[in-house]
Amino acid sequence: MTISLNTPNTLSTEALLATFRRRSRMAFLVPGVILAYLTWIFFAFDIPGIAARAKTDNAAVLLTDFWAHKTHVTRDNRTGNLSISKDGENRGAYPPGLLPDWVTVTNGVTTIDLGQGNIVTYDDQGARYIVPEYGTIDIRPSEDGQSLILDAPQPLPSWINASDRLITVTTPAGRFNYSRSKVETFRYQAGWALFFFTADSPFFQKSPLELAALATTGERIDPNRSNLRYMASEFWNNKMWHHGEVAWALFETLLMAFIGTFLAALVALPLAFMAARNFNPLGPLRFVMRRIFDFIRGVDALIWTIVLARAFGPGPMTGALAILITDTGTFGKLYSETLENIDEKQTEGIRSTGATTLQRARFGVLPQVTPVLLSQVLYLFESNTRSATVIGAITGGGIGLLLTQAIITQKDWEDVAYYMILIVLMVMALDSLSGWIRRKLIKGE
């Protein structure tokens, strides 16, 4: 490792001292400039104002959604109907007659155990919420049904919000809303709701042991197929999480990166020979090839993607073509640099046998550059699996599309977390795979 600072060839004491002085000036100047720049950016990007603009409630929603879900227990005050659903979605509604184990209904009285002594009861007079170390919050509609009467230990704490139309109670155990039309209780629980089976599936709310028993020895629920196949299809076609579609989207993203990278690698190979000084004696052609590479790289993946999306419509092929074009430029540049740095002795040896240019390239050059080129290809493939996510978001294909859709709706953050985990796992798996192949190729292990 050589240090390539501007060291003069002849080091007189004078010159050496001058270098030292210059270096010590630089040692203060460079950090100073960087610091000044960062300070300017600090105010130009209005970072002091960020705290005021940040929506902490959004952050709270996002973070809770990542690891927890809520169950809604709702009673319609007019009809008295009780409905329970995960995240308040229709597809997450419990079928009639099925209750979570912390909700009991006896003689028209619904008791909801929120844990740690928090008990909510709905009865025909109204609803009661027993909060430990505070007391009982009792809510009844007034005689004429126009307002709500709240009976709770005074003074009211800040976590109870009461008007004569709506009363909300927020405790660490859950949330409770009483309005004239309905009463709702939300209980937060760790984990993603309905990840394996939706509520309309016969396997909903079964423990792993029960499921194992059903799969192996249990009677067939659907006489036409075994329970295991039924289970697999219920999981794969899960109506909330769409595991099947997500797997397809991941595969599409991978496909985009694969086709784009490897086709680019093939297309760029002959072009790189034309751009390398030692293979192409024609200066102007070389210059043109290099400028083409620069142009392709300069136009940028973003612009290629937009142009191609107009021609080919959304989908994985458009993404693959965008990667193909961008990477042709990158590969052309990388390859031609590699080709210029080869060992000439081997080509000379081949030339001495009277080989043609093509044979020289095939037997003298390709064997020595193949490991390097393949390693470059794999490295770009690795980074393209990441870019394919972004390109998918622009063209509308693969996991990138699902991800941006989930983020734009701004409520399905558990989906976002799920996709993120899958993307990270995919990228990491490819990282180690390509690392393994590269080690094999270069070291020949």
245: Cβ contacts below 8 Å, ≥ 6 apart: 402
Q: Shortest Cβ distance from residue 269 to another protein (Å)?
A: 14
Map the footprint of another protein across residues 286-315, applying CB under 8 A. 294, 297-303, 306-308, 310-315
Question: Given the complex with another protein, which of 178 and 335 has the nearer CB atom?
Answer: 335
Q: Shortest Cβ distance from residue 175 to another protein (Å)?
A: 21
Q: Which of 398, 405, 397 is nearest to 422 (CA)?
A: 398
342 touching another protein, by CB under 8 A = no
Token output for 215: 């799969």
Q: Shortest Cβ distance from residue 410 to another protein (Å)?
A: 6
Cα 428 off chain centre by = 13
Q: Shortest Cβ distance from residue 41 to another protein (Å)?
A: 5
Task: Single out the segment in contact with another protein by CB under 8 A; choices: 34-42, 75-83, 116-124, 131-139.
Answer: 34-42
Q: Shortest Cβ distance from residue 349 to another protein (Å)?
A: 18
Among 1, 190, 209, 358, binds another protein (CB under 8 A): 1
What's the count of helices (H) and strands (E) in the chain, helices before strands?
13, 12
Among 234, 252, 327, 414, binds another protein (CB under 8 A): 252
Token output for 30: 């460079």
Question: Given the complex with another protein, which of 194 and 255 has the nearer CB atom?
Answer: 255
With residues binned 3-state (H G I as helix, E B as strand, rest as coil), the percentages for the chain, rounded to 5, are: 55, 15, 30
Map the footprint of another protein across residues 407-436, applying CB under 8 A. 407, 410, 416, 419-420, 423-424, 427-428, 431
179: Cβ contacts below 8 Å, ≥ 6 apart: 148, 165, 166, 167
Task: Single out the segment in contact with another protein by CB under 8 A; choices: 47-55, 126-134, 203-211, 345-353.
Answer: 47-55
Task: Single out the segment in contact with another protein by CB under 8 A; choices: 76-84, 144-152, 216-224, 396-404.
Answer: 396-404
Among 11, 26, 29, 59, binds another protein (CB under 8 A): 59
Question: Given the complex with another protein, which of 138 and 431 has the nearer CB atom?
Answer: 431
DSSP assignment string, 29-91: HHHHHHHHHHHHHHHHTT-TTHHHH--HHHHHHHHHHHHEEEEEEEEETTT--EEEEETT-GG
Q: Shortest Cβ distance from residue 403 to another protein (Å)?
A: 6
Map the footprint of another protein across residues 194-233, applying CB under 8 A. none
Q: Shortest Cβ distance from residue 310 to another protein (Å)?
A: 4
Question: Given the complex with another protein, which of 59 and 105 has the nearer CB atom?
Answer: 59
Q: Which of 398, 386, 394, 389 is nearest to 434 (CA)?
A: 386
Q: Shortest Cβ distance from residue 352 to another protein (Å)?
A: 20
What's the per-residue H, E or C state across 355-391? CCHHHHHHHHHHHHHHHHHHHHHHHHHHHHHHHHHHH
Map the footprint of another protein across residues 5-24, applying CB under 8 A. 6
Question: Given the complex with another protein, which of 238 and 385 has the nearer CB atom?
Answer: 385
Q: Shortest Cβ distance from residue 259 to another protein (Å)?
A: 5
Map the footprint of another protein across residues 62-121, applying CB under 8 A. 62
Instruction: Check if the beta carbon of residue 38 is closer than 8 Å to that of residue 46.
Output: no
Q: How many residues bind another protein (CB under 8 A)?
A: 67
389 touching another protein, by CB under 8 A = yes
Residue type, 319: G
Residue type, 283: G
Q: Which of 184, 177, 181, 174 is nearest to 161 (CA)?
A: 177
Instruction: Check if the beta carbon of residue 112 is closer than 8 Å to that of residue 120.
Output: yes
Among 20, 43, 45, 236, binds another protein (CB under 8 A): 45
Q: Shortest Cβ distance from residue 424 to another protein (Å)?
A: 5
Q: Shortest Cβ distance from residue 32 to another protein (Å)?
A: 14
394 touching another protein, by CB under 8 A = yes
Place of tokens 């192996």: 216
Instruction: Check if the beta carbon of residue 381 is closer than 8 Å to that of residue 262.
Output: yes
Cα 388 off chain centre by = 12
Q: Shortest Cβ distance from residue 270 to another protein (Å)?
A: 17
Number of C-beta neighbours around residue 414 at 10 A: 23
Token output for 59: 């952050």
Token output for 427: 């990228």
- Residues within the interface to another protein (CB under 8 A): 1-4, 6, 34, 37-38, 41, 44-47, 50, 53-55, 58-59, 62, 252, 255-256, 258-259, 262-263, 294, 297-303, 306-308, 310-318, 320, 386, 389-390, 393-394, 397, 400, 403-404, 407, 410, 416, 419-420, 423-424, 427-428, 431
